[in-house]
């Protein structure tokens, strides 16, 4: 039996750091938020657990992704305004539905995105505005960038860095003074969701690059709420993701490896302590195998 919870009714506000809020929803057994029918909101985000973040200092806030619905975005904005925030900016981690669905609520704010994110949103605008649920109207970024971009939110330094993992337009938020790296979908717990199967070798090199940045704590958009609330993941999540992606590359031509379930396939990654097994990722893994093998 599956229950349908009203949109936003199960949103939790977590505080991984004094200056960082995580607006987390989903990962609730037997509960969906939009429809019993297949849809991107429930099956691609809510079932796995999804967070948007806000970096807050004084009256300023930087919102990292606008969440999975307008309702969620309104709750984010309301919470920030109740904290005394009067100046908000938005950064999009990448172009996928569950990261941009609430853009309209922040249409009066600066919305920053990588130039590749804007390009993808333009290319996919019609399908996103007619998806289930529809993102209509899809509000576009108001400012784009290509190279590194540094911002200040109150007294908090923020580094926007591009990395091609999961999608070619990934933007990570580094908070060097806090030792935190907000990683969007470049990392997930339990395993990465493969959207660019032909680029896995590039993704592996990029994982090494973000590991070299030396951030001690990582905050993914899709992860365990308890780990996020406790301050985030260690760099072991990068190593666990790399182990998994390396095995996916081998699975392209190894049918025995391709036939393994997630718990077996990712045994070394899970044993490393960098990621934690969550059963709904079995479906993600099965899809990843089909995608990398072109099935």
Task: Delimit the domains of the chain by residue range.
Answer: 3-292
> Average pLDDT, stretch 237-251?
97
**Structural element, H or E, at residue 23:** strand 20-25
> Average pLDDT, stretch 277-291?
96
Please, which residues bridge with residue 62 across strands?
Answer: 55, 89
pLDDT of residue 295: 83
> Average pLDDT, stretch 214-223?
98
Measured distance CA(135)–CA(102) in Å, rounded: 8
Confidence of residue 208 (pLDDT cuts 50, 70, 90): very high
pLDDT in tens, 130-139: 999 999 999 9
Contact 222, 65 (CB under 8 A): no
Measured distance CA(191)–CA(203) in Å, rounded: 13
Measured distance CA(105)–CA(241) in Å, rounded: 33
Q: Is the backbone peptide bond immediately before 287 cis, with ω within 30 degrees of 0?
A: no
Query: In what side-by-side order are the strands of the sheet with 149-153?
Result: 149-153, 156-162, 171-175, 180-184, 217-220
pLDDT in tens, 156-198: 999 999 999 999 999 999 999 999 999 999 999 999 999 999 9
pLDDT of residue 232 exceeding 90, the answer is yes
- Its pTM stands at 0.96
pLDDT of residue 207 exceeding 80, the answer is yes
May I ask the CATH class of domain 3-292?
alpha beta
**Structural element, H or E, at residue 204:** helix 200-212
Measured distance CA(130)–CA(104) in Å, rounded: 16
pLDDT of residue 52: 98
Measured distance CA(195)–CA(277) in Å, rounded: 21
Measured distance CA(157)–CA(149) in Å, rounded: 11
pLDDT in tens, 43-92: 989 999 999 999 999 999 999 999 999 999 999 999 999 999 999 999 99
Residue 185 makes CB contacts below 8 A (sequence gap 6+) with 93, 94, 96, 99, 166, 167, 170, 192, 193, 220, 221, 222
pLDDT of residue 240: 97
pLDDT of residue 1: 62
């Amino acid at each position: 039996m599956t229950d349908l919870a009203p949109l936003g009714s199960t949103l939790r506000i977590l505080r991984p750091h004094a200056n960082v809020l995580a607006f987390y929803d989903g990962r609730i057994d037997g509960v969906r938020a939009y429809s019993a029918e297949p849809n991107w909101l429930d099956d691609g985000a809510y079932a796995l657990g999804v967070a948007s973040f806000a970096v807050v200092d004084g009256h300023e806030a930087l919102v990292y992704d606008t969440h999975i619905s307008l309702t969620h975005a309104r709750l984010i904005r309301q919470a920030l305004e109740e904290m005394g925030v009067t100046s908000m900016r938005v950064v999009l981690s990448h172009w996928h539905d569950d990261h941009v669905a609430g853009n309209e609520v922040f249409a009066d704010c600066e919305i920053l995105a990588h130039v590749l994110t804007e390009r993808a949103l333009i290319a996919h605008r019609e399908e996103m505005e007619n998806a289930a649920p529809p993102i209509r109207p899809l509000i576009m970024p108001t400012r784009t960038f290509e190279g590194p971009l540094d911002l200040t939110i109150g007294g908090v330094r923020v580094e926007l860095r591009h990395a091609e993992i999961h999608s070619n337009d990934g933007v990570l938020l580094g908070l060097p003074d806090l030792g935190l790296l907000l990683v969007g979908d470049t990392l997930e717990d339990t395993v990465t969701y493969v959207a660019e199967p032909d680029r896995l070798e590039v993704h592996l090199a990029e994982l090494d690059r973000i590991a070299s940045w030396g951030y001690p704590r990582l905050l993914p958009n899709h992860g365990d709420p308890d780990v996020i609330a406790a301050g985030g993941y260690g760099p072991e999540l990068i190593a666990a993701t790399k182990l998994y992606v390396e095995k996916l590359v081998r699975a392209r031509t190894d049918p025995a490896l391709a036939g393994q379930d997630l718990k077996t396939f990712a045994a070394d990654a899970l044993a490393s302590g960098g990621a934690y097994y969550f059963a709904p990722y079995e479906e993600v893994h099965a899809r990843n195998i089909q995608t990398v093998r072109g099935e």
